[in-house]
């Protein structure tokens, strides 16, 4: 059976969510954990796709543009790169399922430099549900690329967060007003 819907759980790692993460969104990111887990369970139960695009870096990479903007974060093989909290447990229980896939990304967008678009098109996915962090950075850039590739977008307001509350609010409005996304709770 083929599903045309996929859930993307973007960058929900220790460095972006945990109190001691290198680039944490902290409490707002921690507060969305139950909704992300609920959606992940729902998608698996419905036999839909779940993708976990996960930011990965090498420490102090002089060639990566983020090195000039942010402290070292999500270093490959380190604690900060690990999935956060209940999502780590959920992934351990479900990672062997054919429709659950985690993959590395090195830019804000889950599409930039990855084969995500190819994977989605092979599976005839045309609707993306976006969750994760940060609303106004990686979720936003993924949404813009998805829009430009003609995917239908559903943004789960209660499952996205940012360390910048103004950026978060702006991005939610941008999703609806500029990208034509459906913003749901």
CA distances in angstroms from 75 to 6, 15, 134, listed in the order given: 27, 9, 17
Which pair of structure tokens corresponds to residue 152?
Answer: 């239908």
Max CA distance (Å), the chain: 46
Helix (H) or strand (E) holding 148: helix 140-148
Topology at the third CATH level for domain 5-184:
Rossmann fold (3.40.50)
Query: Whose CA is closest to 4, among 156, 128, 125?
Result: 125
Q: List, for residues 62-74, the tens digit of each pLDDT value.
A: 888 888 898 889 9
Give me the residue label for tokens 């962090």: 133
Q: Poorest-confidence range of 23-37, 68-82, 109-123, 137-151?
A: 68-82
On the question of pLDDT at 2 being above 60, the answer is no
| Domain residue spans of the chain | 5-184
The CA-CA-CA angle for residues 104, 105, 109, to 5°, reads 145
**Residue 102 and residue 74 in contact, taking contact as beta carbons nearer than 8 Å:** no
């Amino acid at each position: 059976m083929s599903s045309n819907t996929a859930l993307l759980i973007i960058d929900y790692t220790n460095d972006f969510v945990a109190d001691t993460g290198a680039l944490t969104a902290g409490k707002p990111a921690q507060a969305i954990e139950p909704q992300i887990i609920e959606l992940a369970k729902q998608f698996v139960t419905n036999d839909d796709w779940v993708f976990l695009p996960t930011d990965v870096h090498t420490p102090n990479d002089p060639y990566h543009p983020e090195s000039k903007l942010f402290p070292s974060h999500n270093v490959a093989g380190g604690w900060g790169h690990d999935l956060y909290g209940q999502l780590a447990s959920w992934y351990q229980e479900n990672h062997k399922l054919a429709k659950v896939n985690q993959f590395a990304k090195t830019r804000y967008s889950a599409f930039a430099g990855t084969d995500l678009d190819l994977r989605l098109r092979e599976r005839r996915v045309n609707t993306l549900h976006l969750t994760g962090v940060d609303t106004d950075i990686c979720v936003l850039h993924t949404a813009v690329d998805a829009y430009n590739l003609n995917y239908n977008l559903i943004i789960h307001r209660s499952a996205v967060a940012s360390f910048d509350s103004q950026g978060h609010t702006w991005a939610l409005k941008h999703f609806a007003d500029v990208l034509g996304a459906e913003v749901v709770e």
